[in-house]
Amino acid sequence: MEQDDRAPFDAALLRARCEAYPPGEFVDQESFMCASEILAVAMRAGVGPGVAVLDLCCGVAGPGRLITRELGCTYLGVDRSAAAIALARERAAGLPCRFEVRDVPPVPRGSHDVVLLLETMLAFRDQAALVREIASALAVGGRFAFTIAVGEPLTAAEREWMPDAATVWLTPLPQMLDCLHASGLQVRWQIECGSAHRAIADAMTCAFRSHASVIVPVIGRRAYDDLVAAHVLWVEWLGSGRVRKFAVVTEKIAG
């Protein structure tokens, strides 16, 4: 099964994902972030009533729906997956959310107060170009809030171990900070979240194994094995410090 057959894939993993998070912390996110962490990042970025939020690579928009419901912003979510956007639209009924199917980059232009990129910076090989594009879409005073996995690029052996390694592009933290500065983005807040994300990755691995009899018939044995193998590597890398994770909020200070 292709992962873009999102509805059956999402349904097959739902019970395991729910079990992996503490009570009240699962909100349809496709990541290691908890709901309280998502809200904390959004509030640090100044999301609230009347604030226009652009959520890049939103997937089924669990975090987007959460912040729209809880913080009262206006919201545009974009993702390249038509299947994910279809689910996002269905689940956002009654909320002031809009969605578009589109590739990123380019970043949609408009009056965006906050741009979010949660748990997907890693998938972009040229992260410097992406940051420049996001900065150019913000007016002075606009905020860019994101999470990032940092570390030296994967070795050839590590790329062999990691399923779908074409979406895993680590960046050293000093390089990312230099990139932000060069794009006119000043860090206003950052927090390390690797330990918390390791715990979720570990719990998710256990849950996937516990529910293998439900998951495998839907997504297939190979996709299931790759899913578990990737999570095992994240547990190892986050636990050993091979990879560190941060949540960051920046502000545009230069034109």
Provide the domain count of the chain: 1
In a domain, 133, yes or no: yes
Provide the domain limits for residue 110: 6-252
In a domain, 189, yes or no: yes
How far, CA to CA in Å, does 250 sit from each of 147, 152, 171, 184, 235? Answer: 11, 23, 17, 9, 28
In a domain, 157, yes or no: yes
**CB–CB of 118/38 below 8 Å?**
yes
**CB–CB of 145/212 below 8 Å?**
no
- Give the whole-number percent of the chain exceeding pLDDT 70: 98
In a domain, 181, yes or no: yes
DSSP labels, 65-106? HHHHHHH--EEEEEES-HHHHHHHHHHTTTSSEEEEE--SSS
In a domain, 101, yes or no: yes
Least-confidence region, from 1-5, 75-79, 114-118, 224-228 = 1-5
- Give the whole-number percent of the chain exceeding pLDDT 90: 94
In a domain, 172, yes or no: yes
User: What DSSP character marks residue 178?
Assistant: H
> How far, in Å, CA of 145 to CA of 118, rounded?
8
CATH number at residue 47: 3.40.50.150
- What pLDDT digit, counting tens, does each position of 154-203 carry? 999 999 999 999 999 999 999 999 999 999 999 999 999 999 999 999 99
pLDDT of residue 255: 62
DSSP labels, 108-172? PPS--SEEEE-S-GGG-S-HHHHHHHHHHTS-TT-EEEEEEEESSPPPHHHHHHSTTGGG---B-
pLDDT of residue 23: 95
> How far, in Å, CA of 227 to CA of 218, rounded?
13
Of the pLDDT bands very low, low, confident and very high (cuts 50, 70, 90), residue 110 is confident
Query: Average pLDDT over the chain, rounded to whole?
Result: 95
pLDDT of residue 2: 41
pLDDT of residue 3: 44
Instruction: Name 99's bridge partners.
Output: 77
Residues 6+ apart with CB under 8 A from 3: 9, 219, 223
- Name the strands in the sheet holding 185-192, side by side, starting at the edge strand that comes first in the sequence: 97-101, 74-79, 52-56, 114-117, 143-150, 244-252, 185-192
- What pLDDT digit, counting tens, does each position of 42-99 carry? 999 999 999 999 999 999 999 999 999 999 999 999 999 999 999 999 999 999 999 9
In a domain, 1, yes or no: no
In a domain, 54, yes or no: yes
**CB–CB of 66/126 below 8 Å?**
no
Average pLDDT over residues 118-130: 96
For residue 111 the two structure tokens come to 């009056």
For residue 55 the two structure tokens come to 């959520």
Average pLDDT over residues 227-251: 97
pLDDT of residue 4: 57
Whole-model pTM: value is 0.93
